A and B are shown apart, each in its own frame.
Chain A
Amino acid sequence: MSVKVNIPAVLRSAVGGSKSVEGESGQLRDLLSGIGEQYPALKEQVFGPDGGLHKFVNVYINDEDVRYLEGLDTKVADGDTVAILPAVAGGSRRA
């Protein structure tokens, strides 16, 4: 068993066009770093300059936003599904 990580369209060029990649269970930080070793362009876009998740990148574990879990320290188990999604938001608010 391993962890399936769904890749959004805007990031697929960073993983050779795949809709998903496989990674190892453990801490989310290690999962994403492990995948990032294979796909450096993905790592570069997912992480911000401070080493945390980029502010416009949302990561979900089984549909739960990791920012409401334990962030990059969240444990990911075999069989879990991780989704990376660019943030979706907006509205008529002027600032």
Chain B
Amino acid sequence: MKLTIPRDIYDGMIEHCRNDYPNEACGFLGGTDGEAKVLYPLPNAAASPIYYRPGDKEMIAAINDIDERDMELVSIFHSHVASPPNPSPTDKREAHYPDAVYVIVSLMDMDNPLTKGWLIKKADWRDETGEVIEVDLVIS
């Protein structure tokens, strides 16, 4: 399993994460067939360095745009400002999109962000626990 992210979209995602520092940043990637095509930077309504929740209006607009363009929500991304890019207990519990790659951007080293992708598969999407599978990120 892999997710391809074009360089310009990747750079835009990193820039959005840096801009929201010291709080966590979040957003969506729309795309098809495991390739991101559109970046949707979203505001973090929680405005927190340890938690994110996208703003409702912007999130719904992004979901609608993805639908109208016949794309899929290929990724939900967010930043960790002081920890590695691995899913935290909160990330795992609150992941309810089994087909989206949860991309985490670590800004522990602001000049050299570290990015990883994860699928969080649950028997029922509403479950609080599930299996975490790393996804190769291909920056093209």
Contacts and interface: CB of A to CB of B under 8 A. Distances in A.
A91 to B, nearest CB: 4
Contacts of A39: none
Q: How large is the interface on A (under 10, 10 to 19, 20 to 34, 35 or more residues)?
A: 20 to 34
Interface residues of B, number: 39
A76 B135 CA distance: 41
Given A63-B57, A83-B60, A94-B90, A88 B97 contact: yes
Contacts of A95: 89-90
Contacts of B52: 89-91
Contact of B102 (A45, A90, A92): A90
Interface of A: 6, 8-10, 19, 45, 54, 56-57, 60, 63-65, 83, 85-95
Interface of B: 24, 26, 46, 48-54, 56-57, 59-60, 63-64, 67, 72-73, 76, 78, 80-83, 87-91, 94-99, 102, 125-126
9 contacts: A9-B72, A63-B56, A88-B26, A88-B53, A88-B76, A88-B96, A91-B50, A93-B88, A94-B88
